[in-house]
Structure 1
Amino acid sequence: MSDLKKAYELLGLPENASREEVERVFDIELKKSRSKSAEQDFEMKLKAYKLITGADDRQKIEEKSRERYQKWGRFAGTAEKVEEFFRIYRTHVIVGIIAVIVLTVATVTFVNHRQEQKRLAALPPIDLSIMYLGNFMSDMDNGGDEGLEQAMLEQFPEWKRLKLTMTYLPPSDQAMGGADLAYQQKAMAILATEKPDIYILDQASYDWIGGSGVLEKLDEEANGILKPLLNENNKIIGRGEEDTEDHVYAIDITQSKLADQLPLGKLQMIVGLRGGSENHDKAIHFIERYLQESSTK
């Protein structure tokens, strides 16, 4: 005789008794248990009640489960096992998937980084690094920044490689909005971290950084190799915060034919050298070449 059948007999119920009948009989037994003489008998009937109601609950759950998996037809058993697996091991599965994704992304990033390092190592050394700072825009119909870089490189056949970056700085003759202030703050951060050989500026950006100590004095070059090519119009004279007299800080190459050939939207092209430039001689050669072209106009 099964334990469940014994439980029904202990409560004096047939095996097909309804849940309501089981609850009614148990309530009666519960009231009887308040007397000490019935305590031991009640413990047995309580266990019988729990066994019956537990079996009833499991049966209802199984019926609901069968109804839910009927749509899977002959695969219902498999679907139920799969769902049970994910119910038990859901956290493990999710953590495992995340771990696989993180590992995959890290691997791809590492491989891409190694490939980029190999590509850069195979390139010739940089002859001159240039930062455009101001209201400049490369021509997207002619390759954007890469097209501008290539056009500038073609003007110096003896060079193999240029590095060019564009940093937008809004004109100072207009009211500063939130976006303009954000651009200005970004430009300040770039100036603090990037170290180009030369800056190509417009008048507004030169006024912004001219006296900050970023630009190198060009007095020696202005009185030497560049002197025959300079005049009052293309020589930019200024005074830094610690200067007691004026110095040449930049050269205006706006009128150069080479400047006109570039796929670039601009108002002016003013060139200044960063202090401590690694390619100082080539930077001066860059200015000289542009000035030579403007002197023939």
Structure 2
Amino acid sequence: MEDLKQAYATLGLPENATKEEVEKRYYLLMRQARAQGARRDHEEAGGNAVDFEAVNRAYKFIIEYDERKAQEQFKQSQYGKYKKMAGTAEKLDHFFHYYKFHLLGALVAVILIGFAVNSYLERQAQKAEEAKKPPIDVSVMFHGDFYLNNQNQDTEELEAALLSFFPEWKRIGAQITYDPSDPKNEFDIAATQKAVVMLMTEKSDVYILDRNSFTKLARQQLFQPLDEAYEQTLKPLLPSEAAALKTRSAEDTTDHIYGIDISGSPLVKSIPVVSKEMIAAIRADAKHPDKALLFIQRMLEGAKPEGTKPEGTKPEGTSS
């Protein structure tokens, strides 16, 4: 304490001086010391000369003493309640303070590993279930502003509804990829991003799209041209030529038919999907292109105006 008393005396302050008073007095003495150093005749300073080094040592001693005192008060307030365990509690607190990000990173890593393992096990279970089912005759993806009639429904009901149009088939794979035409919030933006991933990873044979999705994807050459199929099979089944949607891709400047509007099909009404329109297209690298075309043809046959027949058919009751 004598050293502390001497430090205050060097600065010319009482022991109860505040920190602000110490700071103010120190800077005053420093200015005086610099002024003295600037004089050419040092003897003029006389007995009032400021000892620069002594002032610095005194100031540093007081500041370090105040800091130690503040730390001890903080420790007492934080860990005093632990009494004999105060030292251990302080060490633990420091450990978690300095290594909290390491611990957080380790926790995240454990969660991710658990999620990956769980996803792998679920995928393996799905594969086992898929192996028990018959092979898919054709896969259909509803891509765009589509959703199921009832949130409690699942794609199995959608698959069953589609399969009812094709009694000769054993199984139809179906899924819905929601891709809003006008994203309005974070959920819509996330759905759009997911839709892009689905297009790259889930290669369906038939795509049922809204107008916006059809236009966007057809220009990216995702679908195969249907010009030949239109002339040979689909044209007599359409209510009008406008149902055959033409566009051009980014690399082909010639218009081709890439989509068929099946919105008017009576069969569409029995599909448990909410939509404004349905445009059917076949993926360029479809695994089952022939069955994909048959899917569109069957939908159009259901939409054919009453009393009309495809070209090449004979009226009922006529002999061959």
Please classify the TM superposition score into its range, dividing by the shorter chain length: 0.5 to 0.7
Residues in 2 aligned to 1:256 and 1:272: alpha-carbon distance in whole angstroms: 15
Task: Give the counterpart of 1:116 among 110, 118, 122.
Answer: 122
Aligned residue in 1 for 2:261? 252
Unmatched 5+ stretches in structure 1:
1-16, 28-53
Give the conservation status (yes or no) of the 8 Å contact 1:250–1:271: yes
Aligned residue in 1 for 2:88? 81
Give the conservation status (yes or no) of the 8 Å contact 2:141–2:176: yes
- After TM superposition, the structure 1 stretch with the greater mean CA deviation from structure 2, 232-241 or 101-110, is 232-241
Aligned residue in 2 for 1:107? 113
Q: Secondary structure at the match of 1:251?
A: strand
Residues in 1 aligned to 2:197 and 2:76: alpha-carbon distance in whole angstroms: 65
Residues in 2 aligned to 1:155 and 1:184: alpha-carbon distance in whole angstroms: 30
Give the conservation status (yes or no) of the 8 Å contact 1:212–1:240: no
The Cα of 1:279 is off from its aligned counterpart by 1.8
Residues in 1 aligned to 2:243 and 2:300: alpha-carbon distance in whole angstroms: 11
Give the conservation status (yes or no) of the 8 Å contact 1:235–1:248: no
Give the conservation status (yes or no) of the 8 Å contact 2:140–2:175: yes
Aligned residue in 1 for 2:207? 199
**1:287 counterpart = 2:296:** yes
The Cα of 1:273 is off from its aligned counterpart by 1.0
Give the conservation status (yes or no) of the 8 Å contact 2:178–2:191: no
Change (3 A) 1:116 1:59: closer
Task: Give the counterpart of 2:103 among 97, 110, 125.
Answer: 97
> Within 5 Å, which residues of 2 pair with 1:1-297?
69=79, 72=81, 75-87=82-94, 89-90=95-96, 93-94=99-100, 97-122=103-128, 123=130, 124=133, 125-141=135-151, 143=153, 148=158, 151-153=161-163, 155-156=165-166, 158-170=169-181, 189=196, 193=200, 195-210=203-218, 213-226=221-234, 229-232=237-240, 235-236=243-244, 238=246, 240=248, 242=252, 247-295=256-304, 297=306
Change (3 A) 1:187 1:273: farther
Residues in 1 aligned to 2:161 and 2:173: alpha-carbon distance in whole angstroms: 10
TM-score by length of 1: 0.59
Give the conservation status (yes or no) of the 8 Å contact 1:256–1:291: yes
The Cα of 1:263 is off from its aligned counterpart by 2.5
Give the conservation status (yes or no) of the 8 Å contact 1:133–1:200: yes
The Cα of 1:81 is off from its aligned counterpart by 2.1
Change (3 A) 1:296 1:19: same
Residues in 2 aligned to 1:178 and 1:102: alpha-carbon distance in whole angstroms: 27
1:216-261 CA-partner distances (Å, limit 9, x unpaired) = 12234334454663453575053536365x6543322222222001
Residues in 2 aligned to 1:223 and 1:202: alpha-carbon distance in whole angstroms: 24
* Identity level (%): 25
Q: Which amino acid aligns with 2:146?
A: F
Change (3 A) 1:169 1:61: closer
Residues in 1 aligned to 2:219 and 2:7: alpha-carbon distance in whole angstroms: 93
Give the conservation status (yes or no) of the 8 Å contact 2:179–2:195: no
The alignment of Structure 1 onto Structure 2 pairs a total of residues equal to 248
Residues in 1 aligned to 2:68 and 2:253: alpha-carbon distance in whole angstroms: 91
Residues in 1 aligned to 2:101 and 2:149: alpha-carbon distance in whole angstroms: 48
Unmatched 5+ stretches in structure 2:
12-63, 307-320
Give the conservation status (yes or no) of the 8 Å contact 2:163–2:171: yes
Please report the RMSD computed on the Cα atoms of aligned residues, expressed in angstroms.
4.9
Change (3 A) 1:183 1:220: farther
Residues in 1 aligned to 2:70 and 2:220: alpha-carbon distance in whole angstroms: 81
